[in-house]
Amino acid sequence: MHEVVPITRERDAPAAAHTPPLAGEVRGLVYEAGGKRLIDNVDLQLRHETRTIVMGANGAGKSVLLRLLHGLLCPSHGEIRWNGHPLDDALRREQAMVFQRPVLLRRSVAANIRFALKLHGRADDREIARILDEVGLADLAKQPARMLSGGERQRLTLARALATTPRVLFLDEPTASLDPASTAAIEAIVQRAHERGTKIVFVTHDLGQARRLADDVLFLSKGRIAEHSPAQRFFERPSSRAAADYLDDHLIAR
């Protein structure tokens, strides 16, 4: 296992060539599977400039909602729009998603980044080196991705997702099984992406992480939105009983 190196901002890294970030709008969203309604008549607006943290108990529908927003699942009813346009393949290509378990190609670390860049018509060696340096993996560029530690794999997964400068980044509990140092490294990368203009939608059970990252909190309960509010108000004065009970349970558990 390799030591996690500090994440530092690359001095001469070019600014990401983002087009304006995407704002999302969901109306009457329903998703049914196996005879069960997993997402139940959700209306939602996602502002483009915020880091939206999605929380809720197990089975609340958090992962399903992310997959719907990214187009990995098709809704049973309702519509999803980004900047006023229906979600389609072109919009999906301007988004990226990182899962709890890293999904990597059975190639070298550098080749994983090269693959993502090629899909967008870019595969410059200097760009690959810059990306890997920014996430602390430059020294491991030639190593097989399968040989990385868990934290390194997730950093590579995140680097590959961000290599294409997505306008929206979805993250489904990306640090759930990581140690504190690796978690801090992932959070630093996500924060930099946000500062560069990427819309962040991040699922987590970790209250500390939510407090560190959230601008607004979307709380799901039984497939419905129980609350969507600014982070400070959510943590200090939750307006829904479901959210208040959730926060109380976690604080007691600690």
pLDDT tens by residue, 153-183: 999 999 999 998 999 999 999 999 899 999 9
pLDDT tens by residue, 38-77: 999 999 999 999 999 999 999 999 999 999 999 999 999 9
Question: What pLDDT is stored for residue 102 in this prediction?
Answer: 86
The SS3 call for residue 9 is coil
Question: What pLDDT is stored for residue 164 in this prediction?
Answer: 87
For residue 26, report the phi and psi dihedrals to the nearest 5 degrees.
-125, 135
Question: What pLDDT is stored for residue 17 in this prediction?
Answer: 44
∠106-107-111 over CA atoms, to 5°?
A: 140
**Residue ranges of the chain with pLDDT lower than 70?**
1-21, 250-254
> Mind listing the domains of the chain with CATH numbers?
24-105+165-253 (3.40.50.300)
What are the CB-based long-range contacts (under 8 Å, 24+) for 36-42? 37/223, 38/64, 38/223, 39/64, 39/65, 39/68, 39/75, 39/223, 40/222, 40/223, 40/224, 41/78, 41/224, 42/78, 42/223, 42/224, 42/225
209 Cβ neighbours under 8 A, 6+ residues apart: 175, 183, 187
DSSP bridge partners of 98: 171
Question: What pLDDT is stored for residue 19 in this prediction?
Answer: 59
d(CA 128, CA 198): 20
CA 138 and chain centroid, separation: 23
Q: Where are the beta strands (DSSP E) in the chain?
A: 24-33, 36-46, 51-55, 77-82, 85-86, 95-98, 168-172, 199-203, 216-221, 224-230
Question: What pLDDT is stored for residue 146 in this prediction?
Answer: 92
d(CA 86, CA 91): 8
